[in-house]
Each structure stands twice: as structure tokens, then as C-alpha cells.
Amino acid sequence: MPLLAQADSLSLELQAGNALRDSFDYAGAIEHYRRVVNRDPNDAEALLQLSLAYLQTASFDRSLDVALQGARLQSDRLPQFNALVGLNYNYAIIISEYYENLVVRHDSEIVAFRIFNRTQATGASKIFGLGLTYWSMGRSPIAEECLQESAALDSTFSDPLFILGLLWIERGEYPKAQAALEQFFRLDPDSFLAEQARLLVERIRRKEQR
């Protein structure tokens, strides 16, 4: 394929992925972004959007792998890739700390763990870890409970709000997602994720106006 035609084709794939992303069809967006990356592993924009899409579907390990690939390019997107590497690495550690216990213990024992941690100084972060792990396991209802409990225990802890926003977008509960993301933005306006929260809120508003 001539280089110009290939560039046009990759641009169309990226645009198609972005359109699906804006409609919160992350699975469809991922397919388009992967096609671009498979044909041009140095496409920084496709790598960035692919890493973000994996993040927004609780695929933290895949998001991390793609962010590392992007960081090696040393492009002008390097700060965003580095932020995603750090974020996904931290989340991967949190999930690994809880995953084994979650799959071998009864839910009643996890409830006891939550009750105990409500009285502890680090309780919000501990229960957030449970919520994050349950979400990565596809157990959305109990993930939602834990994330809401974590946010209620520490009103200054912003991470549960961002993850709740993503979870509610995934379930099509857009007003709740918007409220959580707006609260996240107010708590942490200078973070890399604050810009992502703002973009997600804009997409929700456009979707709700249709």
C-alpha cells in the first residue's frame, strides 16, 4: 500500500475508534486502535487512546503494557504515558494484594473485613482496593458498594470517584457518572486524570443532548 494511502487508512481507523470512544463503546474503539497500532507501532496517539480505553474497561494490565510501549517512543505524549504507567502500576499492585484472598474467601468474610476497616485510618484505601479488584473481576454490584463506601469514609479521597464514574459509564448510568466525575475534578483539578474526567463529562453531556 502506498505510504499516503496507508496514512489515510490509519487516520480513518483512528477517527472511527474515537467516534466509538465518544459513544462509550470502548470494546469497539479498542479494535480500531489495535488495528492502527498493529500496522504502525509508533503511532503515539493510537497508543495513548488504546491505553486509556483499556483503563476505562478495568484492563489495567493491558493499559500498562500499552502505556509502556508509548513511553518508549519519547514523543510529546510522554507525560501522559508516564502518568498512565504510574497509575496502572499502582492499581495492578492494589489488585494483586487483594485478588488471591477474594477468590478463596467467602463474601461474608470480605464483609467482615470491610466492617473492620471502617474504623481504621487507612480504611478508605483498603476498601477502595476491594472495589477496584471486584471491578477488574467483572463483579460490578459489589465493586460499586465498596467504591461508594470508600468515598464516603474519606471525602478527600478522589480515586473512588473516578473509578465509580468509569463503572457507571460502563453500565450506562450517565447522570451518576457525571456527578462522580465532576466531584473528582473538584477534588483533584491538577492531576492527569482530571483532564480525562473533564473530557468524559463533556462526552456525557453531548450524549445526553442527542
Domain of 11: which CATH number? 1.25.40.10
CA neighbours closer than 13 Å in the CB half-sphere of residue 191? 17
Is the pLDDT assigned to residue 45 strictly greater than 70? yes
Domain hosting 123: range is 86-209
Domain co-membership, 184 together with 113: yes
Q: Are 39 and 10 spatial neighbours (Cβ–Cβ below 8 Å)?
A: yes
Domain co-membership, 181 together with 97: yes
Domain co-membership, 93 together with 155: yes
Q: Which amino acid is at 184?
A: F
What rounded mean pLDDT belongs to the chain? 93
Q: How confident is the model at residue 207 (pLDDT cuts 50, 70, 90)?
A: confident
For the stretch 155-172, pLDDT in tens is: 999 999 999 999 999 999
Domain co-membership, 117 together with 197: yes
pLDDT at 2: 59
* Cα–Cα distance for residue pair 161/143, rounded to 1 Å: 12
Closest C-alpha among 197, 194, 158, 193 to residue 87: 193
Is the pLDDT assigned to residue 152 strictly greater than 70? yes
Domain co-membership, 91 together with 69: no
Domain co-membership, 42 together with 94: no
Domain co-membership, 56 together with 127: no
Domain co-membership, 118 together with 69: no
* Cα–Cα distance for residue pair 150/154, rounded to 1 Å: 7
pLDDT at 23: 94
SS3 state at 100: helix
DSSP 135-197: HHTT-HHHHHHHHHHHHHH-TT--HHHHHHHHHHHHTT-HHHHHHHHHHHHHH-TTSHHHHHH
Domain co-membership, 108 together with 189: yes
pLDDT at 67: 98
Domain co-membership, 45 together with 90: no
Task: Over range 76-98, report the average pLDDT.
Answer: 95
**Domain closes at, from 59, 80, 101:** 80
For the stretch 57-86, pLDDT in tens is: 999 999 999 999 999 998 999 999 999 999
Is the pLDDT assigned to residue 7 strictly greater than 90? no
Q: Give this prediction's pTM.
A: 0.91
